[in-house]
Structure 1
Amino acid sequence: MSSSLKATLNGWHLWGLAVGLVISGEYFGWSYGWDKAGTLGFLVTSILIAIMYTTFIFSFTELTTSIPHAGGPFAYARRAFGPRMAYVAGFATLIEFVFAPPAIAMAIGAYLNVQFSGVDPKLFAMGAYLIFVSLNIIGIRIAATFELFVTLLAVFELLVFMGVVSPGFSMSNFVANGWSGQNDFSMAAVPGIVAAIPFAIWFFLAIEGVAMAAEEAKDPKRTIPRAYIGGILTLVFLAMGVMVFAGGAGDWKALSNINDPLPQAMKMIVGENSGWLHMLVWIGLFGLVASFHGIIIGYSRQIFALSRAGYMPKFFGVVNDRFQTPHRAIIAGAVVGMVAILGDNFEFAGQTLTANLITMAVFGAIVMYIVSMMSLFALRKKEPGLERPFAAVAYPLFPTIALVMALICLVTMIYFNQQITLVFFGLMALGYVYFSLTQHHRDASADNKVVT
């Protein structure tokens, strides 16, 4: 079997992947932030996180175009700092991309349960894994074309949602008790604003996954910057619009701590029997599917790249001869996700499983963002002559803003999620034991895409 990926993706495929990886975050997950901060408090959190992501993407694109490698952040850290920091970046990215899909799959189950209340949402979630793992194995171009199609439908549906609820929108609904349950801002609202950070990050989480398709992109130096910039602008607009319109539809407290806030918000305006509601449920599934399907692409390429480089068992670092996809890596991530779904009724650290999965994924993302920005600064000094088809915008200001805000996010998340912090860093420590015992695998690795 081969250990090389085939370049077949164009610019539209990559934009579809950039938006599709994330767009489920506009459909669910973010409303858990209302429970922490209220609507106005969470709006503040979301604006700050949007600034972090915008500056991050305008900086991260330099790394993606300079080092087009399926490992993404892992490859950048290896080139900048060596194998140990590469392990940290690779592990963090893996946690982000493996823990996010089961949360999305359970939201798919919740959306379908609106239509088929007699069917256990877990069955729908497990079925989603079976269908989209199979589609991913068949081929990246087919998978990416499907991703583009469902992403366009998902964007359209979010615009429809905003249009349908707008006649019933009331700013008084949105601002009522909007500061952590209070009508007026006070310092008592600040802890809630900070605690809501993981759920604001969920609005944008995984856009960086385009980096993991870089080896499969045609002309990555030109198409990836367009995909990233177009993607982040699209997502900021949709995130703010969906949140504001949903919050103004009625009692926003009824929409927090649930996996289907948009259908429930629309019910407040059009009632339970409206055709608009049924359309939202069915077409809205495409938003969840787009992210679910896209993140499968992301985690599989990360597992593949880590295995090919000797950071994970080499069993996962091969490509199927017929379909040219990393089939073993695709299946491995799915197994982890399906096991998580079976524990849906399990609560930990005072949160539902979905909220904990989101928080774990965000921990991975934030650690990866920090290492990536550090890698950007290090490579600017270490390799000033490296070809940079897209130079970081407003360097060093933008990457500094992204790095500082990511560090603040990490510190606050540790403070507000101490039990999950122990789980995250405990898993990282266990992985490091394997890393320490397998130097011979890295020495024998055929992955020479990046030289340190």
Structure 2
Amino acid sequence: MTPDLNIAPARAVTHHELKQTLGTWQLWGIAVGLVISGEYFGWSYGWASAGTLGFLITSLFVAAMYTTFIFSFTELTTSIPHAGGPFAYAHHAFGPLGGYLAGMATLVEFVFAPPAIALAIGAYLHVQFPGLEPKHAALAAYVVFMALNIVGVQIAAAFELVVTLLAIFELLVFMGVVAPGFSWGHFTQGGWAGAQHFKIDAFHGMFAAIPFAIWFFLAIEGVAMAAEEARNPKRSIPIAYVSGILTLVALALGVMIFAGGAGDWTRLSNINDPLPQAMKYIVGEHSGWMHMLVWLGLFGLVASFHGIILGYSRQIFALARAGYLPEWLAKVHPRFRTPHRAIVAGGVIGVAAIYSDELVQFAGQTLTANIVTMSVFGAIVMYIISMLALFKLRRAQPALERPFRAPLFPYFPAFALAAAIVSLATMVYYNWQVAIVFAIFFALGYGYFLTTSRRRALAPVDALIED
């Protein structure tokens, strides 16, 4: 039976509760910061399969999917402000199994995104310090930013806002510096999957490039997992989401176009630091501008890395609190009121992925590309379940308080749902080996789900209902 979300139980603060401290600007910083590393790396792998022009079309399609998705997803976030985010929405709409599917998908998305970002941090540092092993730098990043997240969400969110603003400034600097040397001829040269004119291979390449276009926007929905820590989620989350997605669409298109027009884009399509390498075409390898980009570019990677640690920890915390994961992961730090055990648990998995080349590097793709694809699989499955939950809750609970209603309902969520289904189908077709690994994760998780029904029944009431 679905609980009445309009009734909040009277209870004292427990060791399962988070502290409400976040304001609108901090939530916007989290929304943009979670994603902004996608503008710095990862997306250029899409050029390898689709070319610049083909990938531009793919990116516009994905941008439309994300825009309609966020406008629709915001209705769920403000109606059910819960640290579990999609897990909570699917549970209320479809029961425990729905909660498991959405929760597991979100967990895969948010646990596998950080190692890819950490490897990019290592690659950027390697540019400045050639003797530094990128994987060791990635490990150090995990240690530092897990500690920062444990110290407190207020401090973590303030840091996130600062580095996000610096990251946006740096992307604008990049576009400004390469603009004098920008050429549409460079951007369009071989722009259809290596050809001058559109061919059927370009059509296939556009579909194959979908995961890397999604990487431009992946994890913006993570703001939902900070909803319990927002002072006024019903007002601040819509503002953060809408302004955040508009900011990211503008930055993604700008960065991609300027980088592609700076020089030979084919040399940027399979590396983790395309922006510094693109800037080299314009200012040279030893320019102060290029070195500034490397250093300040780290802010974008750090903003997303730090923000996604916040996101995965809240997802682990919420699933454990509701009995879907071991209960000890739901404990919060007695002093800082942060889910410290969940933060460390997700970090251990991420570090293992970084050092598991033989297991993660397959299907002819790099380690980073496969980790990105795994994370995107989780995201797309979660998007589909969330949009289905939106439709179900509109029918099943018409009286549910909805401070923000999806505009142009049902067209916006229907487009987001259809685009996500198309994306998932093409990803399975072009990345079937990663899809098998993803399915294995789900099967193992489902086995655990079947053995824990009694513990879920005994979970505290605040596991699914919050003030």
- Opposite residue 28 of structure 1, the aligned amino acid is F
Q: Is the 8 A contact 1:308 1:447 kept in 2?
A: no
Work out whether 1:310 is the aligned partner of 2:306.
no
431, 435, 442: which is aligned to 1:421? 435
Match of 2:464 in 1: 450
Q: Distance in 2 between matches of 1:43 and 1:252?
A: 13
* Residue equivalent to 1:391: 405
For 1:86-122, what per-residue CA distance to the aligned partner results, in whole angstroms no more than 9, with x for missing partners?
1000000000000000000000000000000011111
Once the two structures are TM-superposed, the CA of residue 449 in structure 1 deviates from its matched residue by 5.0
State the match for 2:6 in structure 1: none
Query: Is the 2:146–2:343 contact (alpha carbons within 8 Å) kept by the matching residues of 1?
Result: yes
Structure 1 position 344, deviation (Å):
4.1
The 5-angstrom pairing of residues 11-22 of structure 1 reads 11-22=24-35
Question: 1:180 is aligned with what amino acid?
Answer: A
1:189 is displaced (CA, Å) by 1.1
**Residue of structure 2 in register with 1:132 after alignment:** 145
Matched, 1:265 2:283: no
| Structure 1 equivalent of residue 52 of structure 2 | 39
Instruction: Tell me, in whole angstroms, the C-alpha distance in 1 between the residues paired with 2:273 and 2:72.
Output: 33
Give the corresponding residue for 2:37: 24
Matches within 5 A, 1:46-125: 46-125=59-138
Amino acid at match of 1:373: M
| Counterpart in the other structure of 1:437 | 451
Aligned position for 1:360: 374
1:341 to partner: Cα distance: 1.2
- Which consecutive unaligned segments of at least 5 residues does structure 1 have? none
Q: Does 1:207 align with 2:206?
A: no
Root-mean-square deviation (Å): 1.1
Q: Which amino acid aligns with 1:144?
A: A
Q: CA deviation at 1:448?
A: 3.2
State the percentage of identical aligned residues: 68
Q: State the partner residue of 1:370.
A: 384
Structure 1 residue 441: Cα displacement: 1.1
Q: 1:334, 1:120 → 2: CA distance?
A: 19
**Amino acid aligned to 1:214:** A
Post-superposition Cα deviations, 1:312-344, rounded to whole Å, max 9, x if no partner, equal 000101111100000000000000111111124
1:289 paired residue number: 302
Q: Distance in 2 between matches of 1:188 and 1:200?
A: 18
1:412 counterpart = 2:426: yes
**TM-score calculated relative to the size of structure 1:** 0.99
1:158-237 residue pairs with structure 2 within 5 A?
A: 158-237=171-250
Cα separation, 1, equivalents of 2:136 and 2:357: 12
| Amino acid of the structure 2 residue aligned with 1:177 | G
1:241-256 → structure 2 map (5 Å cutoff): 241-256=254-269
Residue correspondences, number: 452
Question: Contact 2:120 / 2:272 at 8 angstroms: preserved in 1?
Answer: yes
Counterpart-to-counterpart distance in 1, 2:18 and 2:462: 14
Letter in 1 for 2:108: I
User: Per the alignment, in what secondary structure is the counterpart of residue 84 of structure 1?
Assistant: helix
1:19 is displaced (CA, Å) by 0.1
Distance in structure 1 (CA, Å) of the matches to 2:52 and 2:201? 15
Structure 2 counterpart of 1:371, one-letter code: I
Counterpart AA for 2:384:
I
Distance 2:132 2:201 in 1: 42
One-letter amino acid of the structure 2 residue matched with residue 333 of structure 1: G
When normalised by structure 2's length, the TM-score is: 0.96
CA distance, structure 1, for counterparts of residue 55 and residue 393 of structure 2: 36
Partner of 2:159 in structure 1?
A: 146
Taking the aligned partners of 1:75 and 1:119, their CA distance within structure 2 comes to 42
Distance in 1 (CA, whole Å) between partners of 2:20 and 2:108 is 26
Q: CA contact under 8 A between 2:318 and 2:463: conserved in structure 1?
A: no
Counterpart CA distance in 1 for 2:452 and 2:361 is: 35
In structure 2, the gaps of 5 or more residues are: 1-13
SS in 2 for 1:22: helix
Q: Given that residues 114 and 309 in structure 2 are in contact (C-alpha distance below 8 angstroms), is that contact kept between their aligned partners in structure 1?
A: yes
Partner deviation per Cα, 1:265-287 (whole Å, 9 max, x = no partner): 00111001111011100010000
- For 1:215, what is the secondary structure of its paired residue? helix
